[in-house]
A and B are shown apart, each in its own frame.
Chain A
Amino acid sequence: MPEIETFYDVMRTQGITRRSFMKYCSLTASALGLGPAFVPQIAHAMETKPRTPVIWLNGLECTCCSESFIRGAHPLAKDVVLSMISLDYQHVLMAAAGHAAEAALDEAMEKYHGNYILAVEGNPPLNEDGMFCISAGKPFVEKLRHVAEGAKAVISWGACASYGCVQAAKPNPTQATPVHKVITDKPIIKIPGCPPIAEVMTGVITYMLTFDRLPELDRQGRPAMFYGQRIHDKCYRRPHFDAGQFIETWDDDNARKGYCLYKMGCKGPTTYNACSTIGWNEGTSFPIQSGHGCIGCSEDGFWDQGSFYDRVTDLTQFGVEKNADQVGFAAAGVVGGAIAIHAAVSALKQAQKKTQSTPETNKEEV
């Protein structure tokens, strides 16, 4: 590739028109929750600031983050993101392979040392010295530590890098560990989701370029603008929830009418993400809109929260498949039964005491 200075340059070389570029800027501004006044600022940053290099590592993962990333809603997002990331190193997209690819990684790291953003898709398994995930002949955890050393900041793409996802689900045989527990000395942004929404991914990188800082993060280190609200808070089926109109069984009449999926185990009320506002695949739909409950894929340990199809999910801690209400009801039943027996014995004792104390005239009686 020729010498590339700014994102805008890259886009122009890829044949993107000025008009399309401005559309991208305004789309990004609104996705980030910024007013129209910020559009020129974003455009200006993309035109003038040197391109932020992004090195993208793939650990233990399924590549759904990459798949999502290249399907940005804006027609040009594909080109934009492809020019954003350092194509010298991205397992799915790079042209090089083998030693050439690893050499490209070394070169990129050296050239942008201290400046590049490390985007991690997947996580390192730590068991058996990390042997469960080998990349270029070495445990992935070593590569991760090595590349993170020269990074300005780390982006944890997806539930894998953020929380561990399916490979970290109990019993987690490979000891798959989220990135922030391995890299502790760099600022880390979590973009959870399985996968995360494409616009969220591009939006975060654009924000970092425009404002030269990390976006505002919530307590768990997620960008507040995308993860500040639950799916439930912006769900278009919310009026049915408030009305108490639920789908009772799959494909009942209520399902056809598009009632709330709460009773079917929808995790919207406990899931922080932007699906119900941004949507997926160019805003076409999102799980609830297509008639299936949210499974809470952007939440910590979502695989270990019991069934996707129960509202009150099973507690595995008791070694039985019972939910909190069943366990509680059983405990209350045991206590109630014990009390009934206790009351019966007490009544007998009291009766016994009364008959015994009758002769000695009201010594104990009132």
Chain B
Amino acid sequence: MTDSTASSPLAGTDADAEDLAHVSRQTSVYVYEVPVRLWHWINAAAIVVLCVTGYLIGSPPPTMIIAEATHQFTFGYIRFAHFAAGNILAVAFLGRMYWAIFGNHHARQMFYLPILNVEWWREVLFEIRWYLFLEKRPKKYVGHNPLAQLAMFCFVTLGVGFMIITGFALYGEGLGAGSWADRMFGWVFLVVGGNSHVVHTLHHLGMWWIVIFMIIHIYVAIREDIMSRQSIVSTMISGHRTFKDDDPN
């Protein structure tokens, strides 16, 4: 898909002939549709809130004696923020799953791994070599590169999915036996052997799993934006993947 324009592709006066030649060749593909981008940023915001409040729920801030307990709800607000962000995250995730079915094919990439495809594994290997500085020139990808797809699947699809399931199981403890969360997610406690303390611990570890993802994700997105041959960061804002060159490979 090329966006070539006939007459003058660039406005203003500071474009020279070289720039014009470039621009006339620039390619752009609409990859991330509105729901995907919206989900990405809602998800990101929710995760930040969840990590901060979640950590504080496990290790509460120092005791504040502002008023009698009746008139003070500090820890309650922290927990409320956690539950609210958790519900937003879960609903957004459901919406994202819906869009994986009804959106374009790029929207599906996060939810499966073509593990039977030898070519895909070769590309994964190539990407690993690229990150180990063993490849000089990166390849161009429209959607996620195969390694990114693997990471998204393990960290986001499985990671966030795990946090939603364990999160609602724990939430169900507060709502009480027979509540919707208990009926839908109460089985989680049986899976871990019955003691909900284990689920708390796993939920903690899950947070760190996602924190590690965040560190890698932000670093790699910026690095790829600079060093790869396509746009990365702006793609999640505009939806368009632009390429820096027209070379066939």
Contact = CB atoms under 8 A, between A and B. Distances in A.
Contact of B60 (A239, A246, A335, A362): A246
Interface of B: 18, 22, 55, 58-65, 67, 69-70, 72-76, 78-79, 131, 133, 173-174, 176-177, 186-187, 189-190, 193-198, 200-201, 204-205, 207-209, 211-212, 215-216, 219, 223, 226-227, 244-245
Nearest to B174: A233
B75 A243 contact: yes
Contacts of A135: none
Contact of A332 (B63, B74, B197, B208): B208
A72 B62 CA distance: 40
Given A244-B63, A366-B244, A313 B201 contact: yes
Contacts of B18: 362
Contacts, number: 141
Interface residues of A, number: 55
A305 to B, nearest CB: 5
B63 A248 contact: yes
A244 B74 contact: yes
A244 B78 contact: yes
B63 A313 contact: no
Contacts of A130: none
B124 to A, nearest CB: 18
B73 A346 contact: no
Given A335-B215, A362-B18, 14 more contacts: A218-B177, A219-B189, A220-B190, A229-B177, A242-B69, A243-B69, A244-B64, A244-B72, A325-B58, A325-B208, A328-B212, A342-B219, A346-B227, A364-B245
A131 B120 CA distance: 57
A345 interface: yes
A55 to B, nearest CB: 27
A350 B198 CA distance: 46
B174 to A, nearest CB: 8
Contacts of A243: 67, 69, 72-76
Given A262-B60, A325-B55, A328-B204, A239 B69 contact: yes
B210 to A, nearest CB: 10
B65 A245 contact: yes
Contact of B195 (A228, A300, A315, A332): A300
Contacts of B63: 244-246, 248, 254, 259
Contacts of A269: 173
A163 interface: yes
B75 A339 contact: no
Contacts of A346: 133, 223, 227
16 contacts: A239-B70, A241-B75, A243-B76, A245-B65, A246-B60, A262-B60, A270-B196, A270-B200, A301-B195, A312-B58, A312-B204, A324-B58, A331-B212, A335-B215, A343-B223, A362-B18
A221 B174 CA distance: 20
B208 A327 contact: yes
B194 A336 contact: no
A4 B211 CA distance: 68
A224 interface: yes
B195 A299 contact: yes
A328 B211 contact: yes
Interface of A: 163, 218-220, 224, 228-230, 233, 239-246, 248, 254, 259, 262-263, 267, 269-270, 296, 299-302, 305, 311-313, 315, 323-325, 327-329, 331-332, 335-336, 339, 342-343, 345-346, 349-350, 362, 364, 366
B22 to A, nearest CB: 7
Nearest to B198: A305
A301 B199 CA distance: 13
Given A324-B201, A329-B208, A349 B189 contact: no
Contacts of A228: 176-177
Contacts of B190: 219-220
A299 B197 contact: yes
Contact of A300 (B70, B194, B201, B227): B194
A299 B194 contact: yes
B166 to A, nearest CB: 12
A313 B59 CA distance: 11
Given A241-B75, A244-B61, A349 B133 contact: yes
Contacts of B189: 219-220
B32 to A, nearest CB: 21
Nearest to B218: A339
A164 B4 CA distance: 73
B60 A263 contact: yes
Contacts of A335: 212, 215-216
A246 B65 CA distance: 10
A240 B187 CA distance: 30
Contacts of A259: 63
A87 B118 CA distance: 73
Nearest to A254: B63
Given A242-B76, A328-B208, A270 B197 contact: yes
A82 to B, nearest CB: 32
Given A219-B190, A335-B212, A366-B22, A242 B75 contact: yes
B197 A233 contact: no
Given A331-B208, A335-B215, A343-B219, A163 B194 contact: yes
B114 to A, nearest CB: 26
Given A299-B197, A300-B194, A336-B215, A219 B186 contact: yes
A170 B65 CA distance: 41
B205 A328 contact: yes
